[in-house]
Amino acid sequence: MEKEAILAKVNAGEMLPLMEEFYTIQGEGFHKGTAAYFIRIGGCDVGCHWCDVKESWNADTHPPTEVRSIVENAAKYSDTIVITGGEPLTWDMTFITSELKKKGLKIHIETSGAYKLTGDWDWICLSPKKMKLPTEEVYKKAHELKVIVYNLHDFKFAEEQAEKVNKDCILYLQPEWSKRDKMIPEIVDYVMKNPKWKVSLQTHKYLNIP
């Protein structure tokens, strides 16, 4: 396919820069423990210094891939699909979610919420970042808020973000992986004192699975 044709399809969300896809157990947040097929889309310019998938950032290193074939394949594995990245909302998610919906699949997103919310989602996990705050719309629609705790200031940030989400949104504090030994005791203490929050761990890393 010619370069312009590929670009046009990427702009329409009919092709996406696919980094990797894998069948695993959702490790984090509300759905942790549930088998799900993960689709990781490249491209993110939010720039979290502790990001655990920096290889995802440069979209040009991930091949533009036909969404129809991503969906055909994903449907073979699971009835629950998690779209992550990179930052999936870098791209128009309308087409991929409508194709997944046609297959009757449950569609979840992992997002910083920094860009326009596109697509039709059964579950939105919003993990806000200080450098590029979420849009007003995604605060209204998020099912869970998952704030990463790297240092003590992140508790203050978490409370500010909790003020912005809808009343049904479930609130999680998740330790930044490299700081887990230091921050887990702080999070445990904080959640016992402020029980509207729950603890989320990256359980897949303890299980040694993707």
Ligand X SMILES: Nc1nc2[nH]cc(C(=O)O)c2c(=O)[nH]1
- Binding to ligand SAM by residue 161, rule CB under 6 A? no
Among 80, 97, 111, 161, binds ligand SAM (CB under 6 A): 111
* Rounded Cα gap, residues 162 and 146, in angstroms: 10
- Residues 80-119 within binding reach of ligand X (CB under 6 A): 84, 110
Neighbours of 19 (CB within 10 A): 23
CB nearer to ligand X: pick between 54 and 153: 54
- Residues 16-75 within binding reach of ligand SAM (CB under 6 A): 44, 50-53
Residue 61, annotated as binding a ligand: no
State in angstroms the smallest separation of the CB of 153 from ligand X.
Answer: 23
Q: Shortest CA distance to 56 belongs to which of 19, 24, 27?
A: 19
- Residues 20-49 within binding reach of ligand X (CB under 6 A): 24-28
Binding-site members are 25-27, 40, 44, 48, 50-52, 84, 86, 127-129, 210
